[in-house]
Amino acid sequence: MNVIALIIGGFLGSIFRYEVGRWIPAAGNFQLATVLINLVGCFFLGWFFTIATKWKIRPDVRLGIGTGFTGAFTTFSTFSVQTVDAISGKQFGTAVLYLLISVVGGLLMSFIGVAIGKKSLHKGGVSK
């Protein structure tokens, strides 16, 4: 069942990523779609893994949503290649900004997702 959950989640996540990427245009040389997708993914994964156990979400569903869907929706490889492209094109300011927003922003969004997940567990009467 785990492999099926990964296949379904990965399939849906990759399609969703593709479509969202088409809706969000680049801001000049700055790959806004990739940054926003990755930040949303970091937030979601932090929140989802925080609430998944307490909400008794089955392990195969957690795997399908967390690793499959979110893993396919977000993309470290695209972020890396776009950063290298900016450096190769001598767009150092864009590369540094992209790197900082992606890494620092991703960590921050993960922390926020975890915090909101914990708050939602406490509000629902479920405490750690």
How many Å from the N-terminal Cα to the C-terminal Cα in the chain?
Answer: 29
Two structure tokens written together for 72: 């396919």
DSSP β-bridge partners for residue 27: 30
Q: Confirm or deny that 74 is annotated as ligand binding.
A: yes
Q: Confirm or deny that 78 is annotated as ligand binding.
A: no
Three-state secondary-structure class, residue 27: strand
- The helix, strand and coil proportions of the chain, stated in percent and rounded to the nearest 5, come to 80, 0, 20
Answer yes or no: are the C-beta atoms of 71 and 53 closer than 8 Å: no
Annotated binding site for Na(+): 71, 74
Annotated binding site: 71, 74
